Amino acid sequence: MVSGYYFDISAFLILICLAYTYFLQHLHKVEENNIVFVALLSVLLAAGLSIAYYMKPFSRSTLTVPFYVSSWALTAVSIALFILYLYMDRAYNIGRWKPVVFVGIPFAADFIFVVLSSFDLHSAFRTAAYCCDVILFIVGINILYVYKKNTSRERALMLWVVLIGMIAATIVEMLYPDVMIQRFAMSLLFAETFFNLKDPEEQFDADTGLISLETFKEEIRRRFYYLKRHGGGVSLVMLAIHSTETFLRLLGEVNELKLRQSVISEITRIADGTPIYRVRQGVYIFLTENDDRAEADRIQSALIDRFESTFGMEAYEMELPFSTCRIDLPEMAPDGVALTDLIHMAVREGRLYEKPVVDARALDLSTEEYMREVDEKVRHAVESGNLEVYYQPIYSLKEKRFVSAEALLRLHDGDKFIPPDTFITVAENNGSIVEIDDFVIQQVCRMIAARNLPELGIRYIELNLSVSDMLQDDISGKLTKFADMYHVHPSQVNLEITETSDDAFTGVVESNVLRLSHLGFNFSLDDFGTGYSSLSRIIMMPFDIIKLDKTIVQAPFEMETDQERRNAMTLLESSADMVKRIGAETVAEGVETKEQLEEMERLGVDFIQGFYFARPMPEGDFINAVRAMNKK
């Protein structure tokens, strides 16, 4: 019996250290598993009882039966709980019958044999109890074999070795009762398990505190393996917040951190216990248990409702561009690779088409590889030299010549172009838009200085600025720097801001517009008439030119019925008249036919921009076209 005392002392010390480690892990929010911890406490208590029994604090004759029943029963509980942990850790939705049959029944038999053997009814009962322990460990080995693809090879191998060692220790103790090494072997098993618990860096994302990408990959791999073997389904919801890299570069770390904390707080509240994985910057996955599509629908609806409102505070309060997508597995993606592609495609679809809800079933995954290539080309567009500024002349109806032009960006892709709507949106999302805009500003200033445009009759070049540009605190300094570098007067650059929702015009945007206006830069409002303008804001902001969007310019000539054409003409006339009355000059975009040109003249429009006079063209062709027109 003395050898058993020393084995239990060793086990007790190991288990005490593990329990201490567990509490440290719990305090630091490292992965915890309550089943493993209860099993650890059970065998710790069993070892403690054995130590107390060997030290003879009381009459051993009165404690023999309670000691054996308690210590052996606690050991059996610990073994059963650990095997149950393997079931729950390796597979999902296993139902009740497997744990009952393969864990519950052997444990119940073990407990009964322990009680019977404690009363010295027959030595065979003790042997039967040990046999039940061996059966439980064999069940654990079977679990590792069946779900071998659900865990790393190193962890599976270690568990196999330890479980085989447990079987050996149990058989040794069964044959030699004085050598009570089973609990010592259990302590080694728990030590191996605790050493494999995840570190915070592996389980949680450092920036958000949410579950990390690597953990998501492991979880999805397990889910797919289970679905393949047992059927069923899983539902998840994707939330993508677009242009996050741009927000980081423009808002600065402090303000971006405040904005991110506000977002994380809200999506955690909406999840209401559903695990949230951060799979990339601005992309979050809500993974429901089982095929809970009602819960997935609830989460998606709540996200849409919340993100239609603003986040942030003071000058940085804004609506965040977002999209959501519900993905049902395995119907929409048969494996992890297909799911990854589907998530990427859903993010792009939502960003490109500004969709709050993306239908996963309607996505064409064959374009995913192309979009990845576009993203890569956009990230390296400036350094690779594939960007080129084109210019579209603007015609004055009063002077009958070209008086200005709009700078338009083109991205070469071999012998063709990547559509601007595609690559600009990609650039805004991956953060390269700021570098690209700097390139355009510099090229425009260089062209104005090199070509001596006033002699050609060109008074200014219109330069598009995105909301991302206008959110930069140093935008005025940047524009002034390039203008001074090339000795360009600010009045030679007309800053064109696309009409957008009121939420885009934050305090920072307004102050930048006013500051640049005081420095001598002029402003025009692009795409007027697309439905988002605040009339009071148009009146208050220093817009010298308002550009009528081509959709309302062309609508009266494209509608099918007379009533539709009359309605469209009424909208066009009222828009042109309103711009004239507030004292701004008017540019009609998208004029392509003589009939459209004559109608613009009747309405008193000041300038024409469209294919009727000229398409966008490279710098050299633009200069030649201006010379040819303005010599007439």
260-281 pLDDT, tens per residue? 888 889 999 999 888 899 988 8
Average per-residue pLDDT in the chain?
A: 81
Which residues, in sequence order, are CB contacts of 363 under 8 Å at separation 6+?
342, 345, 346, 349
pLDDT recorded at residue 202:
60
Kindly report which listed range (133-147, 212-226, 240-254) carries the lowest average pLDDT score. Answer: 240-254
Q: Is the pLDDT of residue 590 over 60?
A: yes
Summarised one tens digit per residue, pLDDT across range 108-118 is 998 888 888 87
Segment 585-611 mean pLDDT: 94
- pLDDT at residue 583, as a whole number: 86
- Helix segments in 403-549, DSSP class H: 420-430, 433-451, 453-456, 467-470, 475-485, 507-518, 535-540
Tell me which residue has tokens 């403690």: 48
Express each pLDDT in 287-313 by its tens digit.
987 667 889 999 999 999 999 888 765
Q: Residue 186: which pLDDT band, with cuts at 50, 70 and 90?
A: confident
The token pair at 485 is: 């570098």
- pTM across the whole model: 0.53
What pLDDT does 449 receive? 92
Asked which of 167-171, 191-195, 219-223 is least confident by mean pLDDT, the reply is: 191-195
Residue 107 near residue 69, CB atoms below 8 Å: no
- Checking if the pLDDT of 1 tops 50, the result is no
Query: What fold does the segment set 374-630 form as a domain?
Result: TIM Barrel (3.20.20)
pLDDT of residue 501: 42
- The whole-number pLDDT of residue 179 equals 79
What is the residue type of 504? A
Write the DSSP string, 217-237: HHHHHHHHHHHHHH---EEEE
At residue 532 the predicted structure's pLDDT band, cuts being 50, 70 and 90, is very low
Mean pLDDT of 16-24: 77
State yes or no: pLDDT of 32 exceeds 70.
Answer: no
Structure tokens at 248: 């980081």
pLDDT in the model for residue 503: 46
Lowest mean pLDDT among 220-224, 384-388, 497-501, 595-599: 497-501
Q: How far apart (Å, rounded) are the C-alpha atoms in residues 320 and 263?
A: 10
- pLDDT tens-digit readout, 395-448: 999 999 999 999 999 998 877 788 887 788 778 777 788 888 889 999 999 999
Cβ neighbourhood burial of 34 (10 Å; 0-12, 13-18, 19+): exposed
Domain map of the chain by residue range?
2-197, 201-363, 374-630
pLDDT at 595 over 70: yes
Q: What is the pLDDT of residue 511?
A: 79
pLDDT of 459 strictly over 80: yes
Mean pLDDT is lowest, of 49-63, 223-237, 322-336, for 49-63
> For 201-363, which CATH superfamily applies?
Reverse transcriptase/Diguanylate cyclase domain (3.30.70.270)
In single-letter form, the type of residue at position 473 comes to D
Structure confidence by residue, pLDDT tens digits, 360-377? 888 765 565 666 777 788
Angle 311-315-320 from CA coordinates, rounded to 5°: 30
Cα separation, 234 vs 329, in Å, equals 5
Mean pLDDT of 30-35: 62
Q: How far apart are CA 187 and CA 397, in angstroms?
A: 90
Q: Rounded distance, CA 504 to CA 322, Å?
A: 14
pLDDT of residue 529: 59
**Under a CB-based contact definition with an 8 Å cutoff, are residues 215 and 276 in contact?**
no
Q: What is the CA radius of gyration of the chain?
A: 36
Residue 29 has pLDDT above 60, yes or no: no
CA dihedral 563, 564, 567, 569 (to 10 degrees): -110
Tell me the C-alpha distance between 352 and 459, whole Å.
35
pLDDT exceeds cutoff 70 at 26: no
pLDDT in tens, 74-100: 888 999 988 888 877 655 445 567 788
Q: What percent of the chain has pLDDT over 90?
A: 25
Between 3-12, 55-64, 430-439, 562-571, the lowest mean confidence (pLDDT) is in: 55-64
pLDDT of residue 488: 93
| CB-CB contact of 503 with 471 (8 Å) | no
Residue that has been written with the tokens 């969007």 in this structure: 549
pLDDT higher for 486 or 55? 486
Cite the beta strand spans of 331-469 per DSSP E: 387-396, 401-413, 416-418, 460-465
pLDDT at 30: 46
CB-based burial, 282-316: b 16+ in 10 Å, e otherwise: bbbbbbbeebeeebbebbbebbeebbeeebbeebb
